[in-house]
Amino acid sequence: AQSVTQLDSQVPVFEEAPVELRCNYSSSVSVYLFWYVQYPNQGLQLLLKYLSGSTLVKGINGFEAEFNKSQTSFHLRKPSVHISDTAEYFCAVSDSIYGGSQGNLIFGKGTKLSVKP
Amino acid sequence: SAVISQKPSRDICQRGTSLTIQCQVDSQVTMMFWYRQQPGQSLTLIATANQGSEATYESGFVIDKFPISRPNLTFSTLTVSNMSPEDSSIYLCSVEPGLGFTEAFFGQGTRLTVV
């Protein structure tokens, strides 16, 4: 069975500081990995995804994530955060390349990023 | 892509009552999904709703508690029946926008508090 662990429930950082949100997964089969962001009072929005190819994936709003198969990790990073990045971030895994669009997603518990001025 | 409108955005309900949540999509979609996000927990899939057939429920969720309607390709409802405080959660609607898409699109969620 697949599972996702987001190691930090809350991450406070100052504006313009770098940030890393950690995500580890467990799976016995090929995985496809996603990061979603949920801004206050809004739905989840795809930030980036890893399906195949380069292990460094770039997403929207300057975020990137690196797929590390040996460490079963998919950490999300941004070199300099803004106040507007304050949101909750969810890591998710699927064993199907279309899993993200077919309800076959396993989500982590989320990490609340709080960016302070 | 798909634009999803979910109503209500939040509600406070008395225990023992029922609440119906609506999900409207701006385009026709084959598959719609309902998720639950309990406080401090991850999103959990409740059921998959395909137009013209009964919804398929995940383990731990039953039709009597969470009846779902899917009358057409742009609309679905989820009812939370006979509510208890344990049903206090965020409920999210999600859609498969079409063939070839590899990510889901979500509504803004319904924040339900049962008192």
CATH at residue B41: 2.60.40.10
What mean pLDDT comes out for the span B80-92?
96
Q: What is the distance, to the nearest Å, from the Cα of residue A44 to the centroid of all Cα atoms in its chain?
A: 12
Residue A1 is predicted with a pLDDT of 75
Residue contact B42–A90, C-beta within 8 A: yes
Range of the domain at B59: 4-114
Of A51, A9, A107, the residue nearest B101 (C-alpha): A51
Residue A103 is predicted with a pLDDT of 62
Residue B3 is predicted with a pLDDT of 87
Phi, psi dihedral angles at A61 (to 5 degrees): 60, 25
Domain count, chain B: 1
Domain limits, chain A: 3-116
- HSE (CB half, 13 Å, CA atoms) of A8? 16
> Strands, E, within chain A: which ranges?
3-5, 10-14, 19-21, 24-26, 32-38, 44-50, 56-58, 64-68, 73-78, 87-94, 106-107, 111-116
pLDDT by residue (tens digit) across A60-113? 999 999 999 999 999 999 999 999 999 999 999 987 766 655 667 889 999 999
For domain A3-116, give its CATH number from 3.40.190.80, 3.90.340.10, 2.60.40.10, 1.10.3720.10: 2.60.40.10
Residue B5 is predicted with a pLDDT of 93
Return residues 5-44 of A near B (CB < 8 Å). Answer: 9, 32, 34, 36, 41-44
Please give the residue of chain B at the shortest CA–CA distance from A49: B103
Of A36, A90, A103, the CB nearest to B31: A103
